[in-house]
A and B are shown apart, each in its own frame.
Chain A
Amino acid sequence: MELLKMQNVSFSYRDKQILHDLNLSVKNGEFVTILGPSGSGKSTIFQLIGGIQTPYMGSIILEGEEITGDRGHISYMPQSPSLLPWRTIIQNVLLGQELQAKKDYKKADEMLQRAGLLEYRNAYPHELSGGMKQRVAFLRALLSPQPIICLDEPFSALDELTRQEMQLWLLSIWEQYKKTIIFVTHNIEEALFLSDRIFVLSAKPARIKQEVVVPFLRPRDEEMLFTGEFLQHKKMIHDLLRKG
């Protein structure tokens, strides 16, 4: 069943065309990545789904209902952790839920436990490392009651090793909860490693150039990154992006 659909969505900002006739759909429980070069309008897609911006054409449909220009239907994890510095970790994790519904401490605690963050339950964000903060930000999104999570280049500010560690961690948590995820990145390897399907974007104005179905089985591990099939896919997508 299709959970989210974007139909013929076009968007321009200050007379500049950013998105052109975008069509994509996401099924329930899927991990979908939107891959595109920097500045191609990837984050704009999230702003449209999140209702902060409104397209001049087309519509966005979630669970059969039109949500174009309407806020609060998705949960979100931004590029920077954006934790509230005056809240403890547990209170930060509960924030997304708190904005929409009632706080569920039991579930939050259970999540912290599974994510290996329980010992930081009552710590403040400034006491955590960058990677740890991103984990908290992801749990916050995961605990929010909305059916779909949008991740906006969440690991781009981390160093290579932490990034890989975070990707593995993300998959392990995600496989337990199986929530629908839309992931935005400019990193081909990251896209291939994480997702079920990849939408490759062209440069401005962004269109969907191709949809790539990722054939690798789950659970996935780092070894996969060095297989011939993986490198083949990487090259294929690389060439796609190159052609502009």
Chain B
Amino acid sequence: MIHKLPKGWRPILVLLLLFIGWEFTVRISEVPTWLLPTPLQIFNELINGWSSVSVHLFSTIQLILLGFFSGVTVGLLTAFILHNIPFLKESFYPLLILSQNIPIIVLAPLLVIWFGFGLLPKLIVITLVCFFPITISAMDGFRQVAPELFHYMHMAGATKRQLFWKLELPFALPSIFSGLKISATYSVMGAVISEWLGSENGIGVYMTLSSSSFRTDRVFVAIFLIMALSLLFFIMINWLERFVIRWKAEGENHGAS
């Protein structure tokens, strides 16, 4: 019997059990809805309120995509520049790490003061949380190029440019994709946080409104939508990776062969 179930049945079963447990616990202990709604109530709210939620949802998706692309661009450019100019790497690497220690919650209102309520401060927030994993993973990828491949390329007379495009970049691709996956999930969180700054639409806005009016069921709708978006985004990057990196043997580490 077990063999006929779909591949991901274990996590699905766990989730299902969790929801069932939640539903019954809340019902039996008669917790009021504004304190903790049951999964069924949350699901109902999602269906009934879809017309208003969907507006927020699509606005957030748009923001995520914009922010993600800006984060990827900045991340890859930073990696490229730091990798090719060693003295810049030496000088800026610590700063890069420090940039990740800035508490976004504190920085966000400042960004609004500096740049207003437009798109720019939001993009800055998302880019800030997104670029770091990509920069680090790309730089690691560039650095780990197998020495014998380098040796061959040098002996064959490859120029610095050829070395980068024909060797370092393709070699770093699997590593870059690891960074992309992390950034993809970060970008969803980044988008929601940036919407708290002040925005007309967006899941972040919907969440704050619901929270302040004690519509806990709607808060949970927002939470589940954010989770779903992260997951979806992750799966899409995964799929793209499989499409781009077709040369890898099953279970093989990237290396020289």
Add 5 more A-B contacts to A84-B149, A85-B255, A86-B247 (CB < 8 A): A85-B247, A86-B170, A86-B173, A124-B249, A133-B257
Q: Which of B152, B154, B252, B257 contacts A71 (CB 8 A)?
A: B154
Q: Is the CB of B247 within 8 A of A126?
A: yes
Q: Is the CB of B247 within 8 A of A72?
A: no
User: Which B residues contact A (CB, under 8 angstroms)?
Assistant: 146, 148-149, 151-159, 162, 166-167, 170-171, 173, 245, 247-249, 252, 254-257
Which residues in A have their C-beta under 8 angstroms from that of B167? 84
Task: Please report the number of residue pairs spanning A and B whose Cβ atoms sit closer than 8 angstroms.
Answer: 76
Kindly state the separation between the CA atoms of A48 and B158 in the bound complex, as whole angstroms: 16
Nearest-neighbor residue (CB-CB) of B170 within chain A: A86
Q: Is the CB of B252 within 8 A of A84?
A: no
Interface size on A, residues (CB 8 A): 33
Kindly state the separation between the CA atoms of A79 and B173 in the bound complex, as whole angstroms: 26
Q: Is the CB of B257 within 8 A of A52?
A: no
Chain A nearest CB from B145 CB (Å) reads 11
Chain B nearest CB from A227 CB (Å) reads 36
Q: Is the CB of A50 within 8 A of B256?
A: no
Which residues in B have their C-beta under 8 angstroms from that of A78? 148, 151-152, 155
Q: Is the CB of A52 within 8 A of B255?
A: no
Which residues in B have their C-beta under 8 angstroms from that of A204? none
List residues 61-99 of chain A with CB under 8 A from any CB of chain B. Answer: 71-76, 78-87, 95-96, 98-99
Chain B nearest CB from A47 CB (Å) reads 8
Q: Is the CB of B148 within 8 A of A80?
A: yes
List residues 190-242 of chain A with CB under 8 A from any CB of chain B. Answer: none
Q: Is the CB of A73 within 8 A of B170?
A: no
Are A82 and B154 CB-contacts (below 8 A) given A126-B247, A126-B249? no
14 contacting pairs across A/B (C-beta < 8 A): A71-B155, A76-B152, A78-B152, A82-B149, A82-B151, A82-B152, A84-B170, A86-B245, A87-B247, A95-B156, A98-B166, A99-B157, A99-B166, A126-B249
Which residues in A have their C-beta under 8 angstroms from that of B248? 85, 126
Question: Which of B146, B154, B170 has its CB near the most chain A CB atoms (within 10 A)?
Answer: B154
Which residues in A have their C-beta under 8 angstroms from that of B149? 82, 84
Kindly state the separation between the CA atoms of A100 and B158 in the bound complex, as whole angstroms: 8
Nearest-neighbor residue (CB-CB) of B174 within chain A: A86
Which residues in B have their C-beta under 8 angstroms from that of A83? 256-257
A138 within 8 A of B: no
Q: Is the CB of A52 within 8 A of B148?
A: no
A11 within 8 A of B: no
Question: Which of B162, B167, B247, B257 has its CB near the most chain A CB atoms (within 10 A)?
Answer: B257
Chain B nearest CB from A58 CB (Å) reads 20
A46 within 8 A of B: yes
Which residues in B have their C-beta under 8 angstroms from that of A50? 154-155, 157
List residues 144-190 of chain A with CB under 8 A from any CB of chain B. Answer: 144, 150
Q: Is the CB of B157 within 8 A of A72?
A: yes
